[in-house]
Amino acid sequence: MSDRVVLVGCGNMGFAMLKGWLDSGALEPQAIHVVEPAAMLRQRAGELGVHTVAEAGELSADLNPRMVLIAVKPQAMAQVLPAYTRFAGDVTFVSVAAGIPVALFEKHLGDKAAIMRVMPNTPAAIGKGMLVVYRNAHVTDANAVFINGLLKTSGEVASIADESLMDAVTAISGSGPAYVFHFIECLTDAGVTVGLDRDLAALLAMQTVYGAGALAAQSHESPTKLREQVTSPNGTTAAALDVLMSEDRLEDLITKAVEAAKKRSVELGKA
């Protein structure tokens, strides 16, 4: 069986995953064929040494890929899939699209097609992603091992046996980096409000999120315990947390945001 891989769509997410495979050495650039209609994005991928084409018809008929990873927008999926039916066979199709259920892939690719859904996030570009996997019964164990090996180059991999959880997964880890980036923006702006110049405020906000995230990931203590370690009785942190935590203000806001993301994922799946 070949280790050739086709990556369909090399935008934000596709490129992040491509970087993970290449930076880790898990795949040789020559094993990867990128289909990307946008010339600038095709050139960006080509600079990494991979094969690039603008459309599926340009892929060699005897390519025999082991995996076709589809990273196009959910709204484009139904239009994109028919061009890949010719690869159905030993290949496993992997979709990273929010919302789109396995049933839609089976409708276009046949009900015997091997399909995996993966919900990654953009920190995959530096090997720090969170990737959650759901697969249908037609993915062979050998292909699942091969693909899991590739996914692990992008970060932590977890799997779910209930596809309906994918909407909640998307709302937490798929979209989650944007919530954190927005928190950095807010902390930076707040720093400016209390008198720091913007560059210093941005450095403090970014390094604080980076350091706190790394500490939470590496420590044996819970986030609750780590929070308590920062919070001196009647000190500065307690004053701030009174604002964030009284009446669960931040938790309520985050829950509302996550519920909105989950709802949108469900809608995308029905589009």
By CB under 6 A, the residues from 178 to 237 that bind ligand A1CAB are none
CB of 177 to ligand A1CAB, least distance (A): 8
Q: Which stretch binds ligand NAI (CB under 6 A): 7-15, 191-199, 210-218, 221-229?
A: 7-15
CB-based contacts of 84, cutoff 8 Å, min separation 6: 6, 8, 56, 68, 70, 93, 109
98 binds ligand A1CAB per the rule CB under 6 A:
yes
Helix axes of 198-218 and 176-193: crossing angle, nearest 10 degrees: 140
CA distance 41 to 162: 34
What are the residues whose beta carbons fall under 8 Å from the beta carbon of 152, sequence distance 6 or more?
Answer: none
By CB under 6 A, tell whether 138 contacts ligand NAI.
no
Is 177 assigned a ligand-binding role in the annotation? Answer: no
Residue nearest to ligand NAI (CB): 11
DSSP label at 155?
A: E
Nearest to 122, CA basis, from 13, 217, 10: 13
CB of residue 99 to ligand A1CAB, shortest distance in Å: 8
Per the DSSP assignment, residues forming a β-bridge with 115 are: 93
Any binding-site annotation on 71?
yes
Interface residue with ligand A1CAB among 175, 201, 202, 262 (CB under 6 A) is: 175
- The least distance separating ligand NAI from the CB of residue 191, rounded to whole angstroms, comes to 26
Write out the binding residues: 71-74
Q: Which residues bind ligand A1CAB (CB under 6 A)?
A: 98, 170, 174-175
